[in-house]
Amino acid sequence: MNSKKKIDVALVGGGIMSATLGTFLKLLKPELTIEVFERLEGTALESSNPWNNAGTGHAALCELNYMPDSKDGSLPNPAKAVAINEQFQLSRQFWSYLVENQILKSPSTFINATPHMTFVRGAKDVDYLRRRFEALKTQPLFAGIEYSEDPKQIAEWAPLLIKGRTADEPIAATRINSGTDVDFGAITNQLFEYLAKNGVAVHTASEVTDLVRDRDNSWNIKVKNTATSSTEYLNSKFVFVGAGGWALKLLQKSGIAEAKGYGTFPVGGQWLRTDNPKIVAQHKAKVYSQASVGAPPMSVPHLDTRVVNGKPSLLFGPYATANPKFLKNGSIFDLPASLRPANLIPYLAVGLTNFSLVQYLVGELLKTKSRKFQSLQEFMPSAKAEDWQLLNAGQRAQVIKKDSVKGGVLQFGTEVITARDGSISGLLGASPGASTAVHVMLQVLERSFASEFSSWKKQISKMIPSFGTKLSDDPKKAAASLASTAKTLNLN
């Protein structure tokens, strides 16, 4: 890097968000000079790494938090679940385009067909799951969803849920075959490989430590080489802060008004994992269940097939852990260092009004390994401790934001923060996460490249045929899109 080099686009962070945005920009405007800065020694080592996230292609097929129960026993509202599914279809279509154009490699290196199931116990949740099924079965993007209360049928779908189950209680499950397991790390690394081959400099061990706006609204960027501690400066017309849990820190440094009042609530995680081929061979599904009282939505337990580097394993969790770091490789001072006069009230309000969450996190923290193992046995009664190891997952950095009524609220979605002039954008939050990287990066393009975006729409529609429309409004189009992406991505 030359000092004060001038570039068009600086992507801070080597995760799936920067990789997706960089790929869009390379395809839409190849002449842009783009550079990537990642503080760690490689790309996809934080949340986008396959062992740091659950690899669920979130399409709301099985996650109950996207479709909470109605208050009066009527059919729950499917609107949010349908919207999440629509967003995932954008990813399926874009990844299909990238496979067809040899930008992503063979689909099995990053996506695998894995039925998505929901499994519940007890009369109340059985009733809810039945009504959820009734509300979804006519939705075009949920075509093929099945429901059963019969242990024999559920055992056919997922034998490990039933084997050894003695409790005499009502159970129910739904299953849908269009679900996926995704290696978001593989997608990230393959996209950065493509970018590097096409003139994008991907700098690793390069931490962006400061961002200062120049008089022409471009950004002066300070980059520290974490291996040599040397520092370099460059100037970029546009900056994307794809720094995961550290995005708030850089947005605060930039001084943009739009980032004021935001905070970050970190939730750590752990999994139980088995690679024992005899057990792995008995389960091919992602099975989600109901969250414990007070649990954040992303801490809903699930028993998952994971395929990483072509090798299947089973993962159970996540168990939430209390950890003040905003990144797995972050600092214990991340939380105190993020405090500002503008976000003190939101932080305090969230601390005071989320008592059940705080209680839940303390409870999780006090759980011994054997208590954690009991949660797995509630799912898989035949599980034996010697087959499973407890591993650390990635850090979730949830958004805390101002609220005119409550002072501050904890938000479990993602939020794009963009300066009024569009010259800097950053992403806060972690859910639905990597699955919706395409949807979220389209928002960044629309806000930060506003003058060019309308002229790009035709090209974007070639990459993502349903862009700007709703598949759920048109059963034929929904079926055609699911079938064609399944064919290209080998998901049949």
Q: Which chain residues interact with ligand FAD by CB under 6 A?
A: 12-18, 37-40, 45-48, 52-56, 58, 184, 207-208, 242-244, 246, 250, 269, 318, 327, 393-396, 427, 430, 432-435
- CB nearer ligand FAD, residue 7 or residue 17: 17
Contact between 154 and 119 under an 8 Å Cβ cutoff? The reply is: yes
The residue type of 466 is S
Handedness of CA 336, 341, 345, 350 (dihedral sign): negative
φ/ψ of residue 218, rounded to 5 = -80, 180
CB of 83 to ligand FAD, least distance (A): 15
- CB nearer ligand FAD, residue 171 or residue 393: 393
Q: Which residue is nearest to ligand FAD (CB)?
A: 15
Contact between 250 and 243 under an 8 Å Cβ cutoff? The reply is: yes
CB of 146 to ligand FAD, least distance (A): 22
CB of 373 to ligand FAD, least distance (A): 19
- CB nearer ligand FAD, residue 15 or residue 179: 15
CB of 165 to ligand FAD, least distance (A): 26
Contact between 7 and 236 under an 8 Å Cβ cutoff? The reply is: yes
- CB nearer ligand FAD, residue 78 or residue 179: 179
- CB nearer ligand FAD, residue 21 or residue 158: 21
CB of 80 to ligand FAD, least distance (A): 16
The residue type of 30 is P
CB of 365 to ligand FAD, least distance (A): 16
CB of 10 to ligand FAD, least distance (A): 10
Degrees, nearest 5: CA angle 460-463-469? 65
- Please tell me whether the peptide bond between 432 and the residue prior to it is cis, using omega within 30 degrees of 0: yes
CB of 138 to ligand FAD, least distance (A): 26
- CB nearer ligand FAD, residue 135 or residue 245: 245
The structure tokens listed for 377 are: 């046995």
- CB nearer ligand FAD, residue 147 or residue 431: 431
Handedness of CA 273, 279, 284, 287 (dihedral sign): negative
Using DSSP's 3-state secondary structure scheme, residue 141 falls into helix
**Which residues, other chains included, contact 343 with Cβ-Cβ below 8 Å and sequence gap of 6+?**
260, 261, 262, 263, 400, 402, 408
- CB nearer ligand FAD, residue 82 or residue 393: 393
Using DSSP's 3-state secondary structure scheme, residue 14 falls into coil
Integer CA distances (angstroms), 257 to 209, 252, 342, 421, in order? 19, 9, 10, 11
- Please tell me whether the peptide bond between 50 and the residue prior to it is cis, using omega within 30 degrees of 0: no
CB of 212 to ligand FAD, least distance (A): 14
- CB nearer ligand FAD, residue 135 or residue 423: 423
The structure tokens listed for 475 are: 């059963």
Question: Which residue's structure tokens are 């992503």?
Answer: 104
Angle between helices 16-28 and 437-448 (to 10 degrees): 50
Question: Which residue's structure tokens are 């440094």?
Answer: 253
